[in-house]
Amino acid sequence: MRHKALTALAAALLAVPAIAHHSFAMFDMQTEATVVGTVTEFKWTNPHAFMALDAPGDNGVAASWAIEMTSPNNLINGGWRRSSVKPGDKISVTYHPLVNGRRGGALVRVKLADGKVLENK
């Protein structure tokens, strides 16, 4: 009887979904910066949407940027749609920069070419 109870308990514990924690330690959440560029990629994926863009670098040559976003469900609540941003769009991105100084960060908001602002909620 005890063996059956332990087996049932083990099965119940394994059935409980794991809760993942995503750290923001890689971003400087106290700082906001802005980059203006052209979208090269937009992924509407879980657990985080993602976009890449090219923007003029210090030497005038295009430099690639990687911007992490929240989940599509949260973006929808903020007014986003899968088609809100697409490759070729010229946008202004406000973001929390990576602490390692590389070109990228966590999205705060996007200003589209038509002036519409979409938040990363």
- What digits encode the pLDDT tens for the residues 23-40? 678 898 999 999 999 999
Domain boundaries, the chain: 26-119
- The pLDDT of residue 58 is 80
pTM: 0.78
Looking at the chain, the whole-number percentage of residues with pLDDT higher than 70 is 81
Tell the CATH topology of 26-119: OB fold (Dihydrolipoamide Acetyltransferase, E2P) (2.40.50)
Radius of gyration of the chain (CA): 20
Would you mind telling me the total number of residues written for the chain in this entry? Answer: 121
Q: Are 88 and 42 in contact (CB under 8 A)?
A: no
Going by the DSSP 8-state scheme, the letter that residue 19 receives in this structure is P
CA dist., res. 41 & res. 38, Å (int): 9
